[in-house]
Structure 1
Amino acid sequence: MSDIRKLTTKIVEDAQKKQAHLIEEAEKEIAKKERIKKQQLEKEVAAHLARYEKELQKELSLKVSDLHVKSRNRMLAAKQQVLDELFADAKEQLQNITAEDFDAFVERKLALVQLTGTVELVFGSKSAPLVSETMIQRWQAQFEPDLTIQVAKETIPNRSGVVFKQGEVEFNFIFEALLESKEEELSYQLIAFIFNQE
């Protein structure tokens, strides 16, 4: 009977050892799987974080770019407003030119173009009231005998200045047209001057 007890005890001990060994192996396997799963999860988290960081960086870059564009547009609008005001002021000053200044202007332009023969002077409706018969006679006397001056009966509506017509050829000295032709060139110079003075 003692042999049976010993045998039974041995079987129980062996079973317990085997059970302990199996539990230990199972725990090792579970730990190994958990470690592998944890590494996979860490890689996935790192990949998600990297992708999220890239998306945030891209979004931030777009916002900065948008702010830059808006800022530049506001600056351009401010510059354009300043230019518009300057040109409106210049236009108003030219439209309100004095008779003496207009007389000198026409005289300079007649000397500049050096026309011969008959030339017709067509005044802008805003400048026509400035012209006197005395001015026309003096211009004629100054450029005789090469030039014969005629004044057109019609005027150019809502404009200041003068157009010299000789046949099909016209010399346009209408102030608004002169300003428009110089606007682009002057705009760059004015912008550089105004905004570099700060």
Structure 2
Amino acid sequence: MEWHFTSGNGLPGKYVSLTQSQANTYNSQTHIHSHRLTTIFWEWPSKVLVTLRYLAKGDFYSEVGDLQGISRSSVSRSISVVVAALDRKLKTINFPTSNEELRIVKTGCFRIGKIPKVVGAVDGTLIPIIAPSEAEEVYVCRKGYHALNVQAVVDHQMRFTDVVAQWPGSVHDSTVMENCALKQWLTTTDQNWL
């Protein structure tokens, strides 16, 4: 039998192989309830599966947990750990800031559009959401449904380099751009364009 321990931050820890008799001895000597034991030895691949199910379907934590036989809090922890690990590993949304990074992006963008000093392409999109219980009316977008107005920037390789996902659907794209940190940076550098 192989049990997987996780480190304190939820990342995969050491793997321990036990014979069936060792596992039986451990189980008979411990006073930990079975649900606690499940939490302690909750395997990393299962955390990934729970997260993928949640992200793909948007189910409630209770529904995802029922499918895997775990609690809502375990689902929540699994999602948090997996998303944080992916973010650290992929180093996803990072705007180029060093001179070398900017040079690479500008060169790539120039090859595509023949416009100098371009560091990315920006656009806004409306992401549908369930109506919030407070200030519901400000989330109704111009198309008549509840949404977030999300602004995103991609580089020449179509990688996201900046995302602003904090504005309700009723807010115009220009307001999102005027109030984002990227606009301030573009204004101060004067050598870069979107």
TM-score by length of 2: 0.22
Bigger proportion of residues as helix: 1
Bigger proportion of residues as strand: 2
Largest Rg, 1 or 2: 1
- Higher relative contact order at CA 8 Å, sep ≥6: structure 1 or structure 2? 1
TM-score by length of 1: 0.22
